Structure 1
Amino acid sequence: MGLFRRKTPDGVDNKSQLRILFTSDLHASDIAFRKFLNAGKMYKADILIIGGDLAGKSLIPIIDLGGRYEVEGMEVGKEGLNEVIQNIRASGNYYIITDKKGYDELSNDKKKVDEAFKTAIQERLKEWIQIAEEKYKDYKSPYGTVPLYFNLGNDDPMYMFDVVTEDALFKRTEDFIIPIGNFEMVSYGYVNPTPWNTYREKGEEEIYKELKTVMNKVKDPSKVILNTHAPPYESNLDNAPLLDKDLKPVVKGGDIVMTHVGSKSVRKIIEEYKPALGIHGHIHESKAFDKVAGTLVINPGSEYSSGIFHGVYIVLEGDKVKTHQFITG
């Protein structure tokens, strides 16, 4: 993680009221992403924010058999291939079309799989940037061009940042303090350790140290939007199934046992600095809002694999969070 800098050129100037649409954990689902863009226009958002985990988790091989295609043990003709691809993309997965020889090489070479994954992840993000720019090319809020701020989550490899150019609608937030009206947004995409050993995890001590460093650089901590992918520990936002040693949910009395899995460091930072608002993600099944030391914290949840969009519409007015509303579609 680099040194935080205050990024003024792309920030929204001080205004009396600002409308934000926030989402997280889209995980490469085309449908969820397009619904997010549509909702931004519907709710007349001034700012769009994706709080991390843009990348998908699976790469599905499509084997070209010469006029027919094999996908996960099922054969389809050319006429059915487009539907298969659309379903793969809608559910947040990637695909690669290859012949039998290429498939065998992928099956026996992890490096080639990693390279194919990298290509698929970067290409999907490039497509999303193009889709967003086309969708919003003629759309202006009262404050001008609508930025789409994003940070990476724990499932996002760092090379995703390489896709985004300075003049793109997508704006990188990590390593910057972003001015938003009378507020400043601090973004942090690393999470406390998980059982899955994902791309971007750090120990609680390191998370606390890095967040404290940036919070000491803001103008006024009470006017900070804290955009951390990990939600605060022991809140309504971080309930997830308790897992056994085989990483399977623990069931008692027919019910799945839930436990808190958020970041203790994020909670500690909120308790110490009392920012105006916390926007979080990471725990898909924990759609909720809560108060931590008086700070409103929100997790929109995620059902990306079903193509369902979850977001939060937030209105800032003056120095306060005026209202928020969960959106599902």
Structure 2
Amino acid sequence: MAEGPDRPVGPRPGGRRLVPVLKIFYATDVHGSETTFRKWLNAAKHYGADVLVMGGDLTGKMLVPVVQEADGSWTARFEGSVVRVEDERELQNLEKAIRTRGYYVQRMTPEERAAIQTPEQVDELFHRHIAQVLESWVALADERLDAAKTPAFWMPGNDDHQFVDEYVNRSKAIRNVDGQVVEIDGYYLLSIGNANVTPWNCPRDVSEEVLAAKIDELAQQVPDMSRCIFNVHAPPWGSNLDLAPELDEDFKPTMEAGGLKMVPVGSTAVLEAIRKYQPLLSLHGHIHECSAGIRIGRTLCINTGSEYHEGVLRGALILLDPKKGVKNFALTVG
């Protein structure tokens, strides 16, 4: 059956491999999870990928204080409950669980906890942890990856503060490609980490008009759209790659018969750009609930989704053939 516009598609059956075929491994939205980031670094070896792409939202969402009590135990408010541990081994296990969820953790005395009174103090401590983790990730990447053998690319997403660029730009092994067009073996990676405005007014949220202008500006740098890969954090609106729970005025999910009410929250600018330019491939994240591939016209669009909080890396392995275009793809869970 022919694949019409906007028709959901799955991985195509494999056949005889043609050379050269470029294997791209894409993942996104690790949100500070050390476990998922390490899995992404290992993906080239695990999946035999030639290129690694990380699609945005690198940093965590929360700092969890772990407070030492008078009796020597430690307590933390984690996952909606107060957790108490009695010794160093239990404390380290708790800290590991917190970090796996993508949260940052800080040991404190009661006096240190009480001294943090203002939003500015909270932000300063939170930003310090973001910087420390990114520094450790850069060091790990530069130790594990050889950019000459496995080109690797990342970018901040809409959740990532502006100062994050300072740290991701330091890596020798992973290139920050936000706002750039980069050539990879004859293909053109067009990358934008911004997203359309969300209810939370995230650091890199922008209007649809601004997002459209950013895409148009970069598109002018692409000599051949049939060999272009959009790496745009926000998924296209109404594509089934952008379904998220509808929120009420208190930012709580709304319910309907059978469960959560899901609504499209993607970008109209991204949708129109894909329809207008028809790149070979369009890679997205941002909406964690969606993991699928669809076609918008000739363009294969993928959102891998994200389960960073479970330490699970969702990804996509895409095979690009110089004659056939997208030869095959598979959504991965690991």
Tell me the TM-score normalized by structure 2: 0.88
Deviations 1:226-251 (A, max 9, x none): 00000011102111111222222221
Is residue 181 of structure 2 the alignment partner of residue 172 of structure 1? no
Q: Does 1:44 align with 2:53?
A: no
Q: Tell me the secondary structure at the aligned position of residue 286 of structure 2.
A: coil
Q: Is contact 2:138–2:171 with CA below 8 Å preserved after alignment?
A: no
2: CA distance, partners of 1:70 / 1:62: 6
Which residue in 2 is equivalent to 1:267? 271
1:313 to 317, 323, 326: 317
Other structure's SS at 1:314 match: strand
- Tell me, yes or no, if structure 1 residue 99 matches structure 2 residue 109: yes
Residue 23 of structure 2 is aligned to residue 19 of structure 1: yes
Q: Output the amino acid matched with 1:122.
A: A
Q: Does 1:203 align with 2:213?
A: no
- Structure 2 CA distance, aligned partners of 1:262 and 1:254? 23
- Residue in structure 2 matched with residue 90 of structure 1 by the alignment: 100
Deviation at 1:166, TM superposition (A): 5.4
Query: Contact 1:192–1:203 at 8 Å: present in 2 too?
Result: yes
- Preserved CA contact (<8 Å) 2:63 2:126: yes
2:330 paired with 1:328 = no
Deviations 1:75-103 (A, max 9, x none): 32223211111111111100112222211
127-136 vs 209-218, which deviates more?
Answer: 127-136
Structure 1 residue 64: Cα displacement:
3.0
Select 1:130's aligned residue among 122, 139, 143: 139
In the aligned structure 1, how far is the partner of 2:73 from the partner of 2:32? Answer: 26
Work out whether residues 22 and 312 of structure 1, in 8 Å CA contact, stay in contact via their aligned partners in 2. yes
1:79 is aligned to 89
* Higher mean C-alpha displacement, 58-67 vs 271-280: 58-67
Question: Is 1:185 matched with 2:192?
Answer: no
| 1:36 alignment partner AA | W
Q: Deviations over 1:98-145 (max 9, x none)?
A: 222211122x121111111111111111212222233335xx8xxx42
Who is 1:11 aligned against?
none
Separation in structure 2 between the aligned mates of residue 272 and residue 98 of structure 1, nearest angstrom: 53
Equivalences for residues 51-70 of structure 1 within 5 A: 51-65=55-69, 67-70=72-75
Q: Aligned AA for 1:326?
A: L
- Is residue 121 from structure 1 mapped to residue 125 from structure 2 by the alignment? no
Task: Identify the residue that residue 215 of structure 1 maps to in structure 2.
Answer: 219
**Which segment is superposed worse, 314-323 or 223-232?**
314-323
User: Quick one: structure 1 residues 234 and 145, their matched pair in 2 at CA, closer, same or farther if it must change by over 3 Å?
Assistant: same
Residue of structure 2 in register with 1:161 after alignment? 165
Counterpart amino acid of residue 115 in structure 1: E
Q: Is the 8 A contact 1:290 1:296 kept in 2?
A: yes
Shift of 1:47: 0.9
Shift of 1:255: 2.2
Deviates more, 1:37-46 or 1:119-128: 37-46
| 8 A Cα contact 1:69 1:78, kept in partner | no
Per-residue deviation at 1:184? 0.6
Post-superposition Cα deviations, 1:62-83, rounded to whole Å, max 9, x if no partner, equal 1234643222243322232111
Structure 2 distance, partners of 1:234, 1:101, is 50
Shift, 1:214, TM fit: 1.2
SS in structure 2 at match of 1:243: coil
Residue 241 in 1 paired to residue 250 in 2? no
TM-score by length of 1: 0.89
Q: Which runs of 5+ in 1 are unaligned?
A: 1-14
CA distance in 2: counterparts of 1:98 and 1:256, whole angstroms: 38
Asked if the contact 1:52/1:153 (under 8 Å) is kept, the reply is yes
Is contact 2:33–2:99 with CA below 8 Å preserved after alignment?
yes
Aligned amino acid, residue 229 of structure 1: H
CA contact (8 A) 1:238 1:261 kept: yes
Indicate if the aligned counterparts of 2:180 and 2:218 stay in contact, CA closer than 8 A.
no
Distance in 1 between residues matched to 2:171 and 2:259, nearest whole Å: 49
Counterparts of 1:187 and 1:136, CA distance in 2: 21
Q: Which amino acid aligns with 1:321?
A: V
Structure 2 unaligned spans of 5+: 1-18
CA distance in 2, matches of 1:18, 1:205: 34
Give the fraction of aligned pairs with identical amino acids, expressed as a percent: 35
The separation in 1 between residues aligned to 2:266 and 2:171, in whole angstroms, is 34
CA distance in 2, matches of 1:185, 1:304: 24
CA deviation profile, 1:244-297 (whole Å, cap 9, x unmatched)? 222222212232211111100001111111111000000100111111122000
Q: Corresponding residue for 2:121?
A: 112
Ranges of 4+ aligned residues in structure 1 off by more than 6 Å:
none
Distance in structure 2 (CA, Å) of the matches to 1:117 and 1:31? 20
Look up the equivalent residue of 2:216 and give its one-letter code: K
- Residues in 2 aligned to 1:210 and 1:292: alpha-carbon distance in whole angstroms: 20
**Is 1:293 aligned with 2:297?**
yes
Where 1:268 maps in the other structure, the secondary structure is helix
CA distance in 1, matches of 2:66, 2:76: 5
Separation in 2 of the partners of 1:266 and 1:318? 25
